[in-house]
A = this chain, B = another copy of it.
Amino acid sequence: MLHLNAFLFGCGHHSAAWRHSSSRVEDLGDIGYYEELARTAERGKLDAVFFADGHSVRDPAGAGTWFLEPITALTAMARATSHIGLVTTVSTTFYTPFHAARLLASLDHISGGRAGWNVVTSMFDAEARNHGFTEIPARAERYARAEEFVEVALALWDSWDGDALKLDRDGQYADPDGVHSIDHVGKYFRVDGPLTVPRSPQGRPVLFQAGASGEGRDLAARYAEAIYAVAYDIDSGAGYYADVKSRIHKAGRDGNSVGIMPGLVTYIGSTMTEAHAKKAELDALLPVEQSLRQLGMYVEQDCREWELDAPVPTLPPVEEFTGPHGRYETILRIVAKDKPTVRELLGTLAAGGGHATMIGTPESIADEMEAWVSGGAADGFNLMPPLYPAGLEDFVDQVVPILQSRGLFRHDYAPGTLRDRLTEGGTR
């Protein structure tokens, strides 16, 4: 069975989404907007909704990437829904484990066992400079801290036994022998414990990770119960999938119990033409000059004179490219797979960057998704609609019923926690 998350992100994952007439840009500070999105996702029986997080304002003029703090937003959304999981990003570089464990355990209680934690180490100097650093610590340092952080959080969640609360009016509130210190003293943290929050419905909220680097993949392999991935095409998806499942195996865990969910941008129309028109409509809202300038940095050429509606000029192979390879390889993959015009390429890059992008009818998209799963590239997807709420409604109302009719997705929620949901039906 597939697993599907809705990755909530401002007005949508296309950077021009907020300019679209149907965007809810006026409501980005209104919790009712996010509650509606969560209810739509729950109508589609999705496993979870998910918030990324950032600790700096990148470009106030350009787009409303961040607005509400995600844990508070998800807490309200928990009360507006009954079944769907609620996954928040918490940075191990900027938080400390007692705060994080406490907030997440509280969300797990409030949601009745639906909390998840996407473990990230953050990456921008501008974020670090809001938290006492002058620049972001080096990757090795961040991952060493992340590992200690996760260990402390897990220990804090385990500090109350499941049966420690007695609530015996004539006797004990709790059994002191069931409430444990953790007495952690490590390189980064000193935490005595126990947690102030008694054991939550899931005990440990579900750990998500999105490891891309070697360090990230190893952290995911050791701790994650579900993994967000980035892959533009099925080949790169399958490569990532095989590598991470092998790392999970090497870490002594069962790869089948850890779902891998690549990000997925979808443009859904009743015909292919209508689907492409939806993308073109958003792409037309991009600021051209700025987008071409940015593309020029990615490909290390002056693109300002490129013809917008002509095919992308031939680009040198990656071996001849002297700049950073990651983004450039993605561009080569997009050009090879889709043969886009310059404007279409700008739009694809503006919506999810290097994430899988499927443009088509509900049937063709269901076919592609099925091909990823049967091709060993995914256990599910982290849905990244280019435009909220319309893109999520399209997916829920048009693609989900097809996945259900093919036996690939649940028809309704079974009782249980987010962890139960994610392991329902197993993964490959």
Q: How large is the interface on A (under 10, 10 to 19, 20 to 34, 35 or more residues)?
A: 35 or more
- A:149-177 near B, CB below 8 Å: 164, 167, 169-170, 172-176
* Partner of A106 from B73, B195, B198 at Cβ < 8 Å: B73
Question: Known: A79-B80, A110-B76, A167-B26. Contact between A197 and B68, CB under 8 A?
Answer: yes
Residue of B30, B66, B98, B179 touching A196 (CB-CB under 8 A):
B66
Query: In the complex, which residues of chain B have a beta carbon less than 8 angstroms from the beta carbon of A130?
Result: 98, 191-193
A61 proximity list for chain B (CB < 8 A):
172-176
Q: Is the CB of B69 within 8 A of A102?
A: yes
Q: State A107–B69 Cα separation when bound (angstroms).
A: 8
Q: How far is the CB of A107 from chain B (nearest CB, A)?
A: 6
Decide yes or no whether A427 CB sits under 8 A from chain B.
no
Q: Does A95 contact B (CB under 8 A)?
A: yes
Shortest CB distance A148–B (Å): 12
A134 contacts the other chain (CB 8 A): yes
A residues 32-59 touching B (CB-CB < 8 Å): 54-57
Q: How far is the CB of A157 from chain B (nearest CB, A)?
A: 13
In Å, the complex CA distance between A381 and B227 comes to 50
Q: Is the CB of A109 within 8 A of B79?
A: no
Given the known interface contacts A76-B110, A98-B55, the answer about A60 and B173 at a Cβ–Cβ threshold of 8 Å is yes
- Contact call A131/B98, Cβ cutoff below 8 A: yes
Asked if A132 CB lies within 8 Å of chain B CBs, one says yes
User: Closest CB of chain B to A167's CB: distance in Å?
Assistant: 5
Whole-angstrom CA separation of A251 from B102 in the bound complex: 37
Let me know if A194 is at the binding interface, CB within 8 A.
yes
A→B interface (CB under 8 Å): 18-21, 23, 25-26, 29-31, 54-57, 60-64, 66-69, 71-73, 75-76, 78-80, 94-96, 98-99, 102-103, 105-107, 109-110, 126, 129-134, 164, 167, 169-170, 172-176, 178-179, 189-198, 200
Q: Given A98-B130, A130-B191, A132-B191, 16 more contacts at CB 8 Å?
A: A18-B167, A18-B173, A20-B169, A23-B169, A29-B198, A30-B109, A31-B79, A55-B196, A61-B175, A67-B196, A69-B196, A71-B71, A72-B72, A72-B103, A130-B193, A133-B190
